[in-house]
Structure 1
Amino acid sequence: MTTFEEAYELTGHGRFNHLALFTNGFILLYATTECLGLGYVLNTADCDLHVSIGERGAISAATFIGVVAPAIVWGYLGDKYGRRKTMLPATVLAVLFSFLSSLSTNFWSMFLLRIITGTLISASCATAYVYLGELTSPSRRAASIAWGSAFIAGSYLAMPLFAWILLPLKFSVGDGTLKIRPWRVLMWAYTIWGSMSCVGMAILPESPSYLLATKGGPETLAVLAKIYSWNQKKTAAEYPIKEILCPAINIPKFKESLARMKLMLKPPLLRCVVISHISNFMVFMQSNAFYVWLPHIVDELLRHGPKKPGLSMCQIMNDIHNNIEMVLDECVPAEMDTGIYPIASCVGIITAILYAAIAFGMKRGWAKAIMYCKMVFKLVLFPYSRY
């Protein structure tokens, strides 16, 4: 008989934890790729979808709309029904709807399917961190979550590499409005990470912490014994703990959860909520919004920049889009300048290095200092970004 934390530590660290890390890491990689990978897709899909620059922006935003809108509901469902029971079916459906969106032939079908895809991805975006942490012993939890975040950095490298391999290919299969071109295959390739995470979740059990909070000790012990057998290469019967002291805790109902959220809108939490939300909004607006348009911006600069020496990036982009005249009936599928791929890959490498540095600093308690330096750095450099 012992406490839950001590019982968890006795399971050790090994194969089970590696599977949990890669499964949840692939979930995070998949979510990031689905949100930001359209920057490469839409740059070559204009003719097939018959979309303008503004409609391309709306399609890129659609996935984010789906991610943000139902986030609170998914969080509650994860608490009520379990992490795995919420994430696994949602991720399977996200892969399915992502595939269906790749078969879109117009703006509205793509826009609506991307919203649905984003809504399903939302179930796993934040829950993956919780699930990963709860599948790891307390002493290794922080390091495990930091390693999971590294998969997000990997997505910034995987997206341009996949695009580098597939988009330069020249093929068109099919007749009529639906033609299979490289950009559709690229969207299929992006779903690989989601499919791999589904396989991992099918093998992994429910979170022991969730089981303890909702169903008590016996079912929790069964999962801990399974983790023990995986890590120690022994049978589950050899797990030395037979009873856990921690009592079960009932999960609040949805109305009770909303009532508790009201506390964030009142002092003393209100000040912290406002500061943290504004800070996160600014960070994600500048980073994710820029990366969505990075392939288009760099592609246009590589094509037209040398012809317009002395002009800033904003002036070049303004001139280009003021002179665009697209005749859809005679549209020629766009081909991206191959110079964009090494540039985007370098951005991915730098992002990975920065993620590693941030994870290193977080482990040493530098969270506030890192956030402050990041915001100051962005504000100082932002006025010069147009050059």
Structure 2
Amino acid sequence: MTTFEEAYELTGHGRFNYLALFTNGFILLYVTVECLGLGYVLNTADCDLQVTIGQRGAISAATFIGVVVPAIVWGYLGDKYGRRKTMLPATVLAVLFSLLSSLSTNFWSMFLLRIVTGTLISASCATAYVYLGELTSPSRRAASIAWGSAFIAGSYLAMPLFAWILLPLKFSFGDGALKIVPWRVLMWAYTIWGITACVGMAILPESPSYLLSTKGGPETLAVLAKIYSWNQKKTAAEYPIKEIVCPPINSPKFKESIARMKYMIKPPLLRCVILSHICNFMVFMQSNAFYVWLPHIVDELLKHGPNKPGLSLCRIMNDLHGNIDLVMDECIPVQMEKRTYPIATVVGIITANIYAAIAFGMKRGWAKAKMYCKMVFKLFLFPYTLY
């Protein structure tokens, strides 16, 4: 008999862990693309949806509304029924509703469908980190989660690249309000990551940590033996551990889960909760909230900035969109400025490499991670600013 942590370490690190990393990484990538990818979609969908700049903001916020509101409920369901059983059906439905939202023809249909899509991807926002951590041995858990976060930065690279390929195309199929145009195809392309993640989750087992706390030792050992066989290229029967120390089985109830939240607003956790919430709010406010509008801001700045020398970015945007409820009598479709895509791509490259440097620093040391960041800056950012 041995402890769960010791039994987990004996499974090793190999093919199974790479599959878990890429599956959960694609989940996080898909969640980010669904939240932020509308920045490229709405920049060319104004005429088809007949939306004002204010309504564009509402549609962009709709996904985030869906993510935030049911987050506590999804966390409880993940603890009650399992990480995989919660995320897999929710992600499948998220892909379906995302495809439905791509067929929207007006503001309200897009707004409501994006709220439903956000509600479904909310199941995976935090649970994917938990699932990835619990599918990794304790000694490699922190680095694995950091590498999983790097996939989020990869979305900042995938979004402009997909948009760069699809949005400049000029095609239109169908009649009436529902025409298949590039921005709809771009939304279909964004679901590739969700479909890939669903395939990975269908292969992966349930979290062994969750099974240990809710089902007991035998089912946990079966999963650990499977991980061992994948990583060590041996049969599950060769797994040397036959029994592990099993804590009392616990099936959480919703009232109990809510009651435990009181510990978050009392010392000693209160200080940590306040600091972590402030840091997370500042990070996401600076990254996600700004990035939703980055394609539009860069596009307008490149188109109108040279004609208004000396004016600030805020003044240019105010002159263009001073009235957020303005609806033009005749909407003229426009193409995004081509230089918008490489600028957004460079932002994605820098962001992705910063995440990679964090994961690299956890294992190799922060001095080497700092050197890596400087190298990335010299290779990508500085030459582009000269251009």
TM-score by length of 2: 0.91
1:322 Cα shift?
A: 3.6
- Structure 2 vs 1, CA of residues 267 and 364 (structure 1 numbering), >3 Å: closer, same or farther? farther
**What is the match of residue 328 of structure 2?**
327
* Structure 1 CA distance for aligned equivalents of residues 96 and 216 of structure 2: 35
* Structure 2 CA distance for aligned equivalents of residues 336 and 343 of structure 1: 12
Contact 2:147/2:355 (8 A) holds in 1: no
Question: CA RMSD for the aligned pairs?
Answer: 1.7
1:326 Cα shift?
A: 4.5
**What is the match of residue 383 of structure 1?**
none
Structure 2 residue 293 is matched with structure 1 residue 293: yes
Cα deviation, 1:177-215, whole Å, max 9, x if unaligned, reads 101110000000000000000000000000000001001
* Residue identity in the other structure for 1:33: V
1:139 Cα shift?
A: 1.2
| Structure 2: 5+ residue stretches without partners | 371-387
Contact 2:150/2:352 (8 A) holds in 1: yes
Structure 2 residue 349 is matched with structure 1 residue 349: yes
1:365 Cα shift?
A: 9.6
**What is the match of residue 88 of structure 2?**
88
* Structure 2 CA distance for aligned equivalents of residues 108 and 146 of structure 1: 38
**What is the match of residue 48 of structure 1?**
48
Contact 2:92/2:198 (8 A) holds in 1: yes
* Structure 2 CA distance for aligned equivalents of residues 30 and 248 of structure 1: 36
Structure 1 segments, 4+ long, off by >6 Å, are none
Cα deviation, 1:309-329, whole Å, max 9, x if unaligned, reads 11111111111124896435x
1:361 Cα shift?
A: 4.7
* Structure 1 CA distance for aligned equivalents of residues 285 and 140 of structure 2: 32
1:278 Cα shift?
A: 2.3
Contact 2:143/2:362 (8 A) holds in 1: no
* Structure 1 CA distance for aligned equivalents of residues 177 and 211 of structure 2: 50
Contact 1:46/1:334 (8 A) holds in 2: no
1:267 Cα shift?
A: 3.3
* Residue identity in the other structure for 2:197: S
* Residue identity in the other structure for 1:140: R
Cα deviation, 1:111-135, whole Å, max 9, x if unaligned, reads 0100100010010011001101111
Equivalent residue pairs, number: 366
Structure 2 residue 38 is matched with structure 1 residue 13: no
Task: Please identify, of 343-352 and 264-273, the stretch whose mean Cα deviation from structure 2 is larger.
Answer: 264-273
* Structure 2 CA distance for aligned equivalents of residues 336 and 352 of structure 1: 24
* Structure 1 CA distance for aligned equivalents of residues 135 and 335 of structure 2: 45
* Structure 1 CA distance for aligned equivalents of residues 362 and 8 of structure 2: 24
The SS at the match of 1:13 is: coil
TM-score by length of 1: 0.91
1:249 Cα shift?
A: 3.5
**What is the match of residue 62 of structure 1?**
62
* Residue identity in the other structure for 1:321: H
* Structure 1 CA distance for aligned equivalents of residues 149 and 270 of structure 2: 28
1:350 Cα shift?
A: 1.1
Task: Please identify, of 316-325 and 187-196, the stretch whose mean Cα deviation from structure 2 is larger.
Answer: 316-325
* Structure 2 CA distance for aligned equivalents of residues 87 and 314 of structure 1: 41
Task: Please identify, of 6-15 and 43-52, the stretch whose mean Cα deviation from structure 2 is larger.
Answer: 6-15
Structure 2 residue 159 is matched with structure 1 residue 184: no
Structure 2 residue 24 is matched with structure 1 residue 24: yes
Contact 2:51/2:327 (8 A) holds in 1: no
Structure 2 residue 109 is matched with structure 1 residue 148: no
**What is the match of residue 376 of structure 2?**
none
* 1:50-199 matches, cutoff 5 A: 50-199=50-199
The SS at the match of 2:158 is: helix
* Residue identity in the other structure for 2:352: A
The SS at the match of 1:267 is: coil
* Structure 1 CA distance for aligned equivalents of residues 248 and 185 of structure 2: 48
1:360 Cα shift?
A: 4.1
1:81 Cα shift?
A: 0.2
The SS at the match of 2:43 is: helix
The SS at the match of 1:179 is: coil
Identity %: 87
The SS at the match of 1:334 is: coil
Contact 2:225/2:237 (8 A) holds in 1: yes
Structure 2 residue 260 is matched with structure 1 residue 260: yes
1:78 Cα shift?
A: 0.3
* Structure 1 CA distance for aligned equivalents of residues 96 and 313 of structure 2: 38
**What is the match of residue 385 of structure 1?**
none
| Structure 1: 5+ residue stretches without partners | 371-387
Contact 1:212/1:248 (8 A) holds in 2: no
* Residue identity in the other structure for 2:328: V
* Residue identity in the other structure for 2:45: A
1:362 Cα shift?
A: 5.2
Contact 2:90/2:123 (8 A) holds in 1: yes
- Structure 2 vs 1, CA of residues 143 and 271 (structure 1 numbering), >3 Å: closer, same or farther? closer
Task: Please identify, of 346-355 and 278-287, the stretch whose mean Cα deviation from structure 2 is larger.
Answer: 278-287
